[in-house]
Amino acid sequence: MLRFTLRRLLLALVVGIAVSAIAFMLLRVSGDLAIALAGEDASPAEVERIREQYGLNRPIIVQYAEWLWRAVQGDLGRSLFYPESVANLIMSRLPVTLTLAGLGLVIALLISLPLGIIAALRRNTWVDRGALGIAVVGQAMPNFWFGLLMIFFFGLSLGWLPISGSDTWMHFVMPAITLGWFSAPVLMRLTRGGMVEVMTSDYIRTARAKGLPGRVVVLKHALRNAIIPVVALCSVQFGNMLSGSVIIETVFALQGIGYLAWEAISRRDFPVVQGILLLVALFYVILTLLADILNAWLDPRIRRG
């Protein structure tokens, strides 16, 4: 176990360094930042001045090393738009996004666990096919469109919920449902698959033969084992939700890091863009690391693989 953990930790570290390099280089490779900052019709002298001012004329490796060295110490530079440091800016917006992703995950589980279990128990009936149908149709909808439809029905028509902002818990209802809805299908399929496998295993037959009531067998004996991979996938889904927040937060004008990222990208506030990319990628690296270790801890076969 220790060997596996150390090896996995090393991989996470290398991947972390790789994503930091990508987060930094991405904007440099995509175009000339000095021209992007100065504007399309700036004079060459002006572009040169900006190149000088932001240190863009130095070798890119030197710039990256300096940025990474500061980033490790918690300094991600200053925003070009807000009079604030990137780190402070992200920290002030992060709670909104974490709340949103957390609620989204809860809603995804509330949808997917019951549906997945029922679909597995009523395998190949209309219930099973119906649950699968919901998953297939649900995944085909563009999430921003789903969000707009919700805004229209519950916000504009019925007037039940506020349609933008992040001041009260009411503001989080629709964004969290939107986010959760799109994570539910994959979790549901996994729950169903796991339950189908477990329910046909020997120990469940034994538990049944002992005369235990069906509910106890399903919830206590079967679900416990079927849910292991679901828990691991949840951490990955949480990471996906952080990156998916950019669309959802923009639709609902929720002031989290997703909205901040979109704003920063539109305004070419590149220190903020780099900071958010780095943070979200590192979150994902850490979450998948935890998921892998959890899986290996619970299932010895993975450790040796």
Q: How far is CA 176 from the centre of its chain?
A: 13
Residues in CB range of 125: below 8 A, 6 or more apart: none
Q: Assess contact for 131 and 116: CB atoms under 8 A.
A: yes
Pick the closer one to other proteins by CB: 212 or 228: 228
Quick note: the x/- pattern for other proteins over 22-41, rule CB under 8 A, is x---xx--xx-x--x-----
Binding to other proteins, residues 214-273 (CB under 8 A): 242-244, 246-247, 250, 261-262, 265-266, 268, 273
Binding to other proteins, residues 114-153 (CB under 8 A): 136-137, 139-145, 148-149, 151-152
Work out whether 160 is an interface residue with other proteins (CB under 8 A).
Answer: no
**Of 51-59, 104-112, 204-212, 283-291, which part binds other proteins (CB under 8 A)?**
283-291
Q: Which pair of structure tokens corresponds to residue 43?
A: 């004079």
Q: Assess contact for 222 and 200: CB atoms under 8 A.
A: no
Work out whether 60 is an interface residue with other proteins (CB under 8 A).
Answer: no
CA distances from 225 to 17, 191, 193 (A): 35, 10, 12
Work out whether 277 is an interface residue with other proteins (CB under 8 A).
Answer: yes
**Smallest distance, Å, CB 148 to other proteins?**
5
Q: Which pair of structure tokens corresponds to residue 272?
A: 């903020």
Residue from the set 2, 156, 158, 209 that interacts with other proteins by CB under 8 A: 156
Q: Which pair of structure tokens corresponds to residue 167?
A: 């001041």
Closest-CA residue to 129 (of 119, 118, 139):
119
**Smallest distance, Å, CB 168 to other proteins?**
22
Q: Which pair of structure tokens corresponds to residue 2?
A: 């220790």
Work out whether 1 is an interface residue with other proteins (CB under 8 A).
Answer: no
Residue 219, amino acid:
L
**Smallest distance, Å, CB 74 to other proteins?**
20
Q: How far is CA 220 from the centre of its chain?
A: 30
**Smallest distance, Å, CB 210 to other proteins?**
26
Residues in CB range of 209: below 8 A, 6 or more apart: none
Pick the closer one to other proteins by CB: 87 or 248: 248
**Smallest distance, Å, CB 249 to other proteins?**
11
